[in-house]
Chain A
Amino acid sequence: MMRKALDEEGLGQWLEALLRGPRRVVAPVREGDLVLFRPITSREEILWDEGKSTLPLKEWLFPPTEPVLHYRFWGNEVEVEDPPLEAPETVVLFARPCDAAALGILDAVFASDYEDAFYLTRRRAMTVVGLSCSRPQPECFCAAVGLSPTATQGSDILLTPLDGRYLVEVLTEKGKRLVEENAALFQEAEGLDKERATAAALAQMGEVEPLGEVSRRLSERFESEMWEVVARKCVGCGVCAFLCPTCHCFDIVDEANAFGGCRCKNWDACAFALFTLHASGHNPRPTQAHRYRQRVMHKFAYFPENFGPTMCVGCGRCLVHCPVGMDIYEIVRILAGGGAA
C-alpha cells in the first residue's frame, strides 16, 4: 500500500485528467430528486458528500435486469445467441466506504462456486476510488458491523479529507495504475493522520454498538418466537433487498413469444413469497416470519459462516427506504440478545 496526498487543486486536476482519459467515469450525481451513480462528463456534475445514492453501486455490476441469452425458434430448431457483454474500463468516483466494502462481498459470491462472467467481467474493468465519510447520516451503522466511515475494504484508492487536503491511500494494483498515470499531481502524505478523520466521523455517527459475533447466537434462536413478532410489521416488498449494496439474489426468467425470446437475470428478494414457491404449490418459507428470518440469517449467520464477513455494511438504506421502518440493526440486536427484547 502506498500513501500519497492531494490538495484541492491537485484533486481537481486529477479529476480533469480522468475525465479526459480513456475510461468511463461514474460518480454520484443528482438526477431529479434522487442521488444516483451515473456516468459524468464534467466534474461539476459530481455531488460531494450529500448523502448516499438511492441505488447502490451494484447496479453497475449486477443490473436490475440483464439478458443472459437470446433465442429464436426455427421450426423444431432453437437458435441461441449470447448477448453482447459490454464492460468498458470504468472508474467509480467517490464511493462511500460502505458501498466499496459491499463490492468485496459481492466479489466473494460471484466468484465462488460458479464464476459469473457478467459480474466478473465488469468488475475487472472497474476501479473504485472511495471517499471517506466525514458526515455519517442518521441511519448509518457501519461501525456496528466491523467497518468505519474511513474503511478501505473494496476501494482501489481511498481519499480521506484531512486539513484541507486529501489523504490518498493506494490500495491495489488497479489503484496504483490510476495514480501513476498522473504521478506528478500527488504529493507526499507526511503529517496526515487518518485516525483523526476516523475519530471525527465516528463521533458524528448515532449511538451504535458493535453487533459483534452474532452468527452463533442467531443460529441458536432459529426457532425463536421473536421472529414472528418482529416480522409482523414487514409488508413483504423488495425495497430492502433491492437497495441493499450486498444483496445479490436473482431470478432467471424467460420472456418469450411464439418466435423467440430472452432469458433474463433479474433482481429477486427473499421477502417475496414467490422467491421460494415450488411448482407443486408448497412453499418452504410460508410466512413473512420465515422470509424475514432468512434475510437476517443470510446476512448475519450463513454468509459469515461461508465467507467470513457479515453480509451487511451498515449503510442503512433499508432503514430509510423501508415503507414501514423495519430496522435490521435493532432486530439483530433483539434476536441476538444484545438489546432490549
Chain B
Amino acid sequence: MADGSIPAQWEPKIVAFVCNWCTYVGADVAGTSRIQYAPNVRLIRLPCTGRIDPLFILKAFEQGADGVLVSGCHPGDCHYVSGNLLARRRFTIFRRLMEFLGVDLRRLQFSWVSATEGRKWAEVVNAVTEEVRAIGPAPSWGEKGEPWRALEPPTGEEAEPLAAPAEAQTQARRSLARRLLEQGEVGIVVGYEANRRGEVTPALITQPGEAERLLFDGRCRHNLSVYLTKELVRKQGKVGLVAKGCDVRSVVGLVQENQIRREDVVLLGMVCRGVYANGRLEARCHSCTVRTPHLYDHLIGEATSASALAEDPRDTEIARLEALSPQERWAYWQAQFARCIRCYACRAVCPLCYCEPCIAEKTRPQWIPPSAHGKGNLAWNIVRAMHLAGRCVGCDACARACPVGIRLDLINRKVALEIEREWGYRPGFDAEAPPPLTTFRPEDKEDFIR
C-alpha cells in the first residue's frame, strides 16, 4: 500500500517455484502426513531450481504476487547433479539486484526442502507467509512512483589537456590503419572521427585514403567493439578495431562467449588517459585499471602503469542510494524506469547484447511486456541487467546512449561489484574463464537460503 498500511481481509499471495524431485515431493509428504500449513502458497512445479529463470519470478510479481518462494534440493541432492548450485549463484545476484531496486527481500525467499522434509516445507511456508503478511501487499509493480529524482551530478576531475599525446596517437594510428588496409590485413578499420559539428563519432573506413579522418583524443568515449558482431561490418572481413583498455575487455567477453574469434580482429590498443564528457573525466575512468590495454596486436601510445584507482563516482552514488529505505529506492527506480521509451538504445550499443532475437522480442511466451508502460519497463530493465550480470565490463555505453537518462550505469556497476565481492571475478580479462553465472563452487555462500 502506498501509505504502508495493511488492509483488513488481505491475505498474502505467495507463488512458490519448486523442483520436481525434492521440494515438490516434500510438499506432497506434508500433505499425506496431514501437516497443516498456511494456504497462501501456490505451487508451480519445474524440473529443477536450475530451470527457474528470474523471469518467472518477475512474472509472478507482475501478475500480483506479494511474495515468491523458490525451493529445491539440498546441495549434493540435485537430480541433474548441479542445477541447484547454478541456481544458488544466479539467485545470489538476483537478490542483490532486486534489493538495490528497492524490493524488500522478505518477499523473495529461497529454501532447500528435500523429499522427506514435509515438516520443513510446512515451516518454511508458514514463516514466509508470516513475513510477507507483516510487510503487507507488494508495492504496485511498475507504476510510476514519485516524481523524477535526480541524483547530485557526479563529481569528477576537470579535464586535463590531452592534445599532445593524443595527437601523437592519432598520427600513429592513421599510418597503422592505412598500412593495414593497404596490405589487406584487415577489410575495415573501426575508429573515431570528428563530425561536421566537431563531435567525435565512430568512423568505419575501408579505404586506405580514409585513414586521414581518424583521430584519437579524450572525446573518444564510444565502445567500438559493438561493431564486431554487426553483420555489415563482419562481411568486410577482418576488423581493425581501435580499442581502449575498457573496450578490449568487451572484446575478450565476445571471444569468451564464442561470438568472434580472436584472429578475426586486429586490436589497435590505445593507451588511454581517460575520456571526458562536458569537461569531466567519465566516472568509469576513475576506477580504470587498463589504461594500457591488457591485450592488443599493436599498442599505440606509451605504455603507462598508472592506474588512478580514485573513488569511482558511481560507487558514491550507489552508496547514496543504498542509504535510502527500500521504499525510497523503489520510488527512485520506478520514476527512472517510467521514462523508458523502449528504444532499446541500451541494447543496441552494448557489445555483449548480441542475442538475435532478444528475449524482449519473444512472444511465445511474452516474458517482457513490449509496451513502454510501468510493468513493461520494469521487466525490461531488470532482465537487461540480469542478462549482463557477470558479463558487463562497465563501459557505460548503455547509460550514455539512453536518451532519457536512466542510470543504467549504476545498476550494472552494482551487479558487477557484487559479483566481484562474491566470487572475485571481473569480466573481460580471461577469455578462457567460465563466466561466473555458468559455473559454481561447492563452497559458494548460501546464507540466504533457508
Interface residues of chain A, those whose CB is within 8 Å of chain B, are 31-34, 54-55, 64-65, 138-139, 206, 228-229, 231-233, 235-239, 241-243, 251, 253, 255, 257, 264, 266-267, 269, 272-274, 287-289, 319, 321, 323-325, 327, 330
B366 within 8 A of A: yes
Task: Name the CB-closest residue of A to B343.
Answer: A238
A32:B405 contact, CB within 8 angstroms: yes
A237 touches B371 (CB 8 A): no
Given A238-B342, A242-B343, A242-B403: A325 in contact with B371 (beta carbons within 8 A): no
Given A237-B349, A257-B63, A267-B341, are A32 and B148 also a contact pair (CB < 8 Å)?
A: yes
Closest 9 CB pairs of A and B: A325-B201, A237-B348, A323-B401, A238-B343, A65-B371, A237-B345, A64-B372, A32-B150, A32-B148
A174–B344 Cα distance when bound, in Å, is 38
Choose among B343, B348, B370 the residue with the greatest number of A CB atoms under 10 Å from its CB. Answer: B343
Separation in Å of the B436 CB from the closest CB of chain A? 27
Partner of B345, one of A32, A54, A65, A323: A323
Docked CA distance A55–B204 (Å):
29
Is there contact, CB below 8 Å, between B343 and A269? yes
Query: In the bound complex, what is the Cα–Cα distance between A31 and B148 (angstroms)?
Result: 7
Q: Are A287 and B232 in contact (CB under 8 A)?
A: yes
* Chain B contacts for A269, CB-based, 8 A: 343
The CA-CA distance from A238 to B341 in the complex, in Å, is 9
CB-based contact A65/B372 at 8 Å: yes
What chain B residues lie within 8 Å of A229 (beta carbons)? 206
Tell me the interface secondary structure of chain B in the complex. Answer: loop
B232 touches which one: A32, A231, A264, A267 (CB < 8 A)? Answer: A231
Judge whether B348 and A235 touch: CB under 8 Å. Answer: yes
B273 beta carbon closer than 8 Å to chain A: no
Residue of A nearest to B150 (CB): A32
Shortest Cβ distance from residue A329 to the other chain B in the assembled complex, whole angstroms: 9
Picked from B148, B342, B349, B370, the residue with its CB within 8 Å of the CB of A235 is B349
Asked whether, in the complex, the Cβ of B196 is within 8 Å of the Cβ of A327, the reply is yes
Chain A minimum-CB-distance residue to B188: A232
- B197 CB–A CB distance under 8 Å: yes
- Give chain A nearest CB distance to B160 CB in angstroms: 25
A55 to chain B, nearest CB (A): 7
> In the complex the two chains form, what is the Cα distance from A274 to B356 in whole Å?
10
Chain B residues within 8 Å of A32, by CB: 148-150, 405
Report how far A330 CA is from B369 CA in the complex, Å.
36
A232-B204, A266-B342, A327-B195 given; A288·B232 CB < 8 A: yes
On chain B, the residues within 8 Å of A273 by CB distance are 356-357
Contact, CB under 8 Å: B197 / A139 = yes
In whole angstroms, what is the CA distance A233 to B222 when docked?
Answer: 12
Answer yes or no: B233 CB below 8 A from chain A CBs. yes
- Does B361 reach chain A (CB closer than 8 Å)? yes
Cross-chain contact of A64 among B63, B149, B204, B341 (Cβ < 8 A): B341
Q: Say yes or no: A287-B231 contact (C-beta < 8 A), given A55-B341, A324-B349.
A: yes
Task: Kindly provide the distance from the CB of A52 to the nearest chain B CB, expressed in whole angstroms.
Answer: 13
> Most A CB atoms within 10 A — which of B147, B201, B357?
B201
**With the chains together, A324 CA to B191 CA distance in Å?**
12
In the complex, besides A239-B403, A243-B343, A288-B230, 7 extra interface pairs with C-beta distance below 8 angstroms are A32-B149, A232-B232, A235-B227, A237-B349, A238-B342, A323-B345, A327-B196
CA–CA, A45 to B199, complex, Å?
A: 32
- Nearest CB in chain B: distance from A277 CB, A: 9
Instruction: Check B347 for interface membership: any CB of A closer than 8 A.
Output: yes
Say if the beta carbon of B404 comes within 8 Å of chain A.
yes
Partner among A34, A64, A236 whose Cβ is within 8 Å of the Cβ of B405: A34
Q: A255-B366, A267-B342, A274-B357 are in contact. Are A54 and B230 (CB under 8 A)?
A: no
Contacts of B186 in A (CB 8 A): none
User: Can you list 5 pairs linking A and B with CB atoms under 8 Å apart?
Assistant: A235-B226, A242-B341, A243-B343, A319-B197, A323-B400
- Bound form: Cα–Cα A33–B405 in Å: 7
- B-side contacts of A242, CB under 8 Å: 341, 343, 403
Nearest chain A residue, comparing its CB with the CB of B361: A274
Q: Mark B222-259, 1 if CB is under 8 A from A, else 0.
A: 10001100111100000000000000000000000000
User: Is B373 among interface residues, defined by CB-CB distance under 8 A?
Assistant: yes
Which chain B residues lie closer than 8 Å to A251 at the CB level?
370
Specify which chain A residues have a CB less than 8 angstroms from the CB of B227 in the assembled complex: 235
Contacting residues of chain B (105-136) with chain A, CB-CB under 8 angstroms: none
Cβ contact of B403, chosen from A54, A139, A253, cutoff 8 A: A54
Tell whether, in the assembled complex, residue B232 and residue A239 are in contact, meaning their CB atoms are under 8 Å apart.
Answer: no
Q: In the complex, are the beta carbons of B232 and A289 less than 8 A apart?
A: yes
The answer to whether A255 and B370 have CB atoms under 8 Å apart is yes
A35 to chain B, nearest CB (A): 11
Chain A positions within 8 Å of B345 at CB level? 237-239, 323
Indicate which residue in A257, A287, A323 contacts B348 across the interface (CB closer than 8 Å): A323
* Contact present for A138 and B197 (CB under 8 Å): yes
Tell me whether B300 is interfacial, beta carbon within 8 Å.
no
When distances are taken between beta carbons in the complex, the residues of chain A under 8 Å from B197 are 138-139, 206, 319
Q: Please tell me if the beta carbons of A232 and B233 are within 8 angstroms of each other in the complex.
A: yes
- What's the minimum C-beta distance from A323 to chain B, rounded to whole angstroms? 4
Task: With both chains docked as a complex, state the minimum distance between the C-beta of A217 and any C-beta of chain B, in angstroms.
Answer: 21
Interface string of B333-365 (1 = CB under 8 A from A): 000000101111101110000001100010000
**Minimum distance in angstroms from B259 CB to a CB of chain A:** 15
Chain A residues within 8 Å of B400, by CB: 323
B256 to chain A, nearest CB (A): 22
A231 to B197, CA, bound (A): 20
| Chain A residue at minimal CB-CB distance from B147 | A31
User: From A63, which residue of chain B is reached at the shortest CB distance?
Assistant: B372
A238 to B344, CA, bound (A): 6
* CB contact between A266 and one of B149, B230, B357, B370 (< 8 Å): that residue: B370
Question: What is the bound-complex CA distance between A109 and B197, given in angstroms?
Answer: 33
Would B348 and A236 count as touching, CB distance under 8 A?
yes
- Residue of B with least CB distance to A243: B403
In this complex, which of A138, A231, A266, A269 has the most chain B Cβ atoms within 10 angstroms of its Cβ? Answer: A266
Within 8 Å of chain A (Cβ to Cβ): is B397? yes
From B149, B150, B401, give the contact of A237 (CB < 8 A).
B401
Cβ–Cβ contact A65 & B196, under 8 A: no
- The answer to the question of B202 belonging to the interface, with a C-beta cut-off of 8 Å to chain A, is yes
